[in-house]
Structure 1
């Protein structure tokens, strides 16, 4: 199921929730809308689901317009953060609810419910009630209920945000495996950048009702196109910079980048892993720095350096202490020029 949205606008009074949003999601793709609270991602999801009407713009599924179709006529199901399970029904009956409302024969219902519960690793819990399950199990029941009706498009609105970190990580992996197994189109809304990087085929980063950048997780992380995306996704060093001929002047010194930017003044972005310890002065992009902070993170050390407050990561066995002088190299191919 391919989804296309063109020039979608939505306002609530004087607040513009969505501003001219264009979006294309391919069949069989797990596409994530990522951004902070209030950026418009849930509003866009609700417009796709038919739970909100856009003020302007169009939405198409497989090339057919659905902008004016009511929610119950769209081949779309939604999983919400709140689960919304019926407490008086067993988990199996919760999953079967949508099928029974469609008057499907009871034998077919049992077959489909048992199959999706097995896929979600919930077979042993089918006769229990929602209040007898953990948060992660309840969320899986909610997902099973949405998927058993075999929607062409599944929308997930922050489905894992209420779970603890370990359970959230487990459910992320299950979600990705399930989506690949079913080969269905999923659109996920989240503010959790680690979640987006883990599960997505592609990500759209949103801010203030606009899509700032979209691409694969690697493209978004390695090649942010603006300061907001660089800072919102992971950790980023941002160096204010000035171009003089083919060299870039920053507080960390003169740096060489893969291709000179067009601006006279702008900034360079480099991730912590793009800064590497060296035993001696590097030939290119070397900085003699002073260690100002060290944080032990288990599988790596998080180091802060002067000049420029650079943050880098290195192996935990490195014996670095505050005040140590070290040579580091800012890897040329890890530097990204941005103009804001």
Structure 2
């Protein structure tokens, strides 16, 4: 929303989205490395303290450097509808986490039912309630681009976050790498994402989002599938590095295309909410992906001391890539038939 308000639609906006994606990738890679260093030196709990510090620095920087924009007076927020929607999203993620745990099925089903009830309450309250503004106008979800971006973003980050959660575990548990070294080993994916995102930003204005999105999804899934060929003694320069580079290029092509797709046919004043829908779907996929894929990996059997087996890793990678292809590609194809 900030980028679209600062840069008008055209080449500069596409380039800005590419720079945004490249910066995001660079910070992601830095987080993997720094997280491994902090975990190895001080323990994993200090990683969360680092997150709080990063949030505080970002908030100060936002107040200092971001443009103030314009204030629009609206009615009070529909607190009941907003609470129901937020509760439905949170309960969905919690239910997925519980479902992956032994014996967690009944409670997961109860939480999922509560999530459905919360979503139904939000939907029933409609666009407004007594003049109050809603957190999310349900009519926005009827926009093809918003729906497509939300579906693809959820599946995309289910695959990406889940598989990149498991890969350092493979490097540590199967290959015996220390946490900091495993973080450095995964860094090439961020370099590939950053480079591809800058290229994607330039191609967007001539090719449009659809071919970039389809190509990015195929490469992302293909790179994850390459990790299924990694064995206990496979060289790092083999399937691991190749998969990191291929999936990184795919992510760099796909992410700006997802962002642009989510803003198609949306009025300028609704860009903030439309981009928030995509970001929320992204976070849902990121929250569910690691726990579901870890549960799939555990179903094959542990290697001992709570560690995942090599076969479990392979099954989880295959499941992540398959879901991305089965969900993401049909959604992208439907976008094309609508004139995308």
Q: Which has the higher helix share?
A: 2
TM over 0.5: no
TM category, shorter: under 0.3
Higher relative contact order structure (alpha carbons within 8 Å, sequence separation ≥ 6): 2
TM-score (norm 2): 0.21
Q: Which has the higher strand share?
A: 1
**Looking at CA atoms only, which structure, 1 or 2, has the larger radius of gyration?**
1
